[in-house]
Amino acid sequence: MAIWEWFKGIPPRTRIIVGVGIMAYASAGLYLSDKAEEHLRRTATEKEEEELRNRPAGRPTVEKRND
């Protein structure tokens, strides 16, 4: 909780600036990661997209062993 206490202790204007800065950093990361993916040609092929569509949703189940 130390970070939350620090955040609550700074002036409101500074909190706004910190919040907007974090959102800008996250937005830039999302945008730049897509551009890097295109540049490095790591986009999914049609075969990979089809495999993802056909994969069952949810988590796989694991049977519990009784040893």
Angle (CA) 54 59 61, round 5°:
115
12-63 pLDDT, tens digit each: 999 999 999 999 999 999 999 988 888 887 777 888 888 888 887 788 788 8
Q: Which pLDDT score is estimated for 22?
A: 97
What CA–CA distance (Å, rounded) separates 39 from 66?
50
29-43 pLDDT, tens digit each: 999 998 888 888 777
* pTM given for the model: 0.55
Q: Which pLDDT score is estimated for 38?
A: 81
Cβ distance 7 to 18 under 8 Å? Answer: yes
- 3-class secondary structure for 8-57? HHCCHHHHHHHHHHHHHHHHHHHHHHHHHHHHCCCCCCHHHHHHHHHCCC
